[in-house]
Chain A
């Protein structure tokens, strides 16, 4: 059993190393910039969906505040860039710390609420954060701010390629964290909370502490995902940075992929973000929004447990059908 676990762990890390090496090789060989623009967005959504799933999936606390954390990440980067011209890795690191602190603070204020009340409280956080940034002139206020990129560092020949590889590294960190949470005592505690919080509390599960840890981790990853966006767009404005689309997409990606396992949000994000990118440059009209809506409804009706649930069902059927 232990050997099987070790084997799985080794397999995960080998997969992660291959993934980063592949991203790096793509950056060095592919010349078409579009692949990196579109690829960065897909990778960014994997981080966001994975981060959402730590609280929303494992603990069952439906969080609509993804856009608040994402926006705070964007503006942490903008602030650091304008104030001290901080390099990108510092922007991401500080954004993660700010996100963790914000997650902890928000958690303390909201995690005593449950169900729909918690969800409403998380929507309010986005509005509060957006209003604060709208009125903060130093980071561009309501008008937004245009940012110029510093020169790219070797071995990359364009900033987008560097951002793409960076996003790939962030995906590995986010997924590794989510996987660790899932397989550790924290994950078991969170699942107990999801199934029956009162029963978990009575059984000695430190519910509030676990939820706070999940909220801080989730917030740190969301803010870290937002930070490189400032340099990706070279522009930040409150409406785009705090766009509710990030909240809805992160939630939808996790639900479509399946919330019970770390691979669910990854699959959901790849499927949905890639479809979004493809639809934007193919159908490109109101229909692309409709296609996404229909896809969501279909998954909720046909596969309420997401791709993972669907795969499990198919696997069971295959095994039952086998001689």
Chain B
């Protein structure tokens, strides 16, 4: 009888233990991080590169034993570079896949529609190279991995460089598209604030292929600096037109916001035509930008990118995908939690070390201080992608803390 009672107690204790153990076991499943990514469509080249960066982080963290003792699993869906796909995908991630954390897709347009959703559900969202996407929604759990910082810092860096070189006038040209128009307006405001005279201002349709008339007009306006807000095809078209016609001796600084000159394929095809251009960038393999883990990351990235036929250099986006993971890793380890509020509080109030340098966020979830680089192409030769893996081909002029050289001007001299 006694022994029977003991057996019953053991059985009850066992059942209780098993009951308690089940949720513990259930919790030991992987930590799921959900995202959409442009894997097809216009943004696919960038999306694939960014995703490899995130995957390298996942493999590194899993090799170290995961987060909170659990493996990290990525759930990724293709948003086809379209804004209309992402709301349903993020709803699937949250309501069906039950992900623990969310990463945003690469770029502004696919991210914009999910901002109201994450705000309504009060969720943490790690941004992935969007531009001012939280401006309207004002979500307090949004943290963008991009180096942009305050909206005006991009143009400010360029104009400050020009002013130091003695520039007093500026020409503004930009594509009639979302990002380019935004940037052009900001550049106009900064120039006006600094007392720089705008001598030429022109928007052009995104399908423009012939830029010689515009280059002649800039030449005639005798601007000291030319701020360009262009997309890859127009960036190429403009530089080819300048190569044929010349921009004039007055121009000390040319470039600023030319999208495309960061992509391996464009860099390789343009070659020496890039020389002298001062343009924005996010990360460059200069000595001042070697942080803990950077070399190791690029070794892994470039191996995978070669196999997957994705951007072989990967400086522009991929390390920021990895950094996004590193920031989450630090927040989860410090708070010992997956609670979005606790993680957001940590991200908002701490400096995080990443392979793209230390990151501190401002109240809007963008970088507190801009880390957008302004770099000048120097000594670039034709048809050689390997040259860009070495320092010295893109000299960092801004910000001061990562500066690796002085501006060569005027632009016509720097081109040679």
Q: Interface residues, chain A, CB within 8 Å of chain B? A: 32-34, 37-38, 41, 131, 134-135, 141-144, 146-149, 160, 229, 232-235, 237, 239-240, 243, 245, 277, 280-281, 284-286, 288-289
Contacts and interface: CB of A to CB of B under 8 A. Distances in A.
B288 interface: no
B347 interface: no
B411 to A, nearest CB: 28
A285 B88 contact: no
A135 B109 contact: no
A240 B109 contact: yes
A32 B96 contact: yes
A41 B76 CA distance: 20
Contacts of A234: 87, 113, 115-117
A271 B113 CA distance: 26
B40 interface: yes
Interface in B96-137: 96, 109, 112-113, 115-117, 136-137
Given A142-B176, A144-B178, A284-B76, A233 B84 contact: yes
Contacts of A284: 39, 76-78
Contact of B88 (A37, A147, A149): A37
B89 interface: yes
Contacts of A280: 77-78, 80, 85, 88-89
B84 A229 contact: yes
B112 A237 contact: yes
B77 A233 contact: no
Contacts of B208: none
A143 to B, nearest CB: 4
B178 A281 contact: no
Nearest to B42: A239
A146 B116 contact: yes
Given A149-B116, A281-B77, A289 B95 contact: no
A122 B92 CA distance: 35
B84 A146 contact: no
Contacts of B82: 240, 243, 245
Contacts of A41: 84, 88
A240 B78 CA distance: 16
B85 A37 contact: no
Interface string B238-260: 00000000000000000000000
A147 B112 CA distance: 10
A33 B93 CA distance: 11
A285 B39 contact: yes
Contacts of B83: 144, 233, 235, 237, 239-240
B77 A144 contact: no
16 contacts: A33-B91, A34-B91, A34-B95, A38-B92, A141-B178, A142-B180, A143-B181, A144-B178, A234-B113, A234-B117, A235-B116, A237-B178, A280-B80, A281-B96, A284-B77, A288-B78
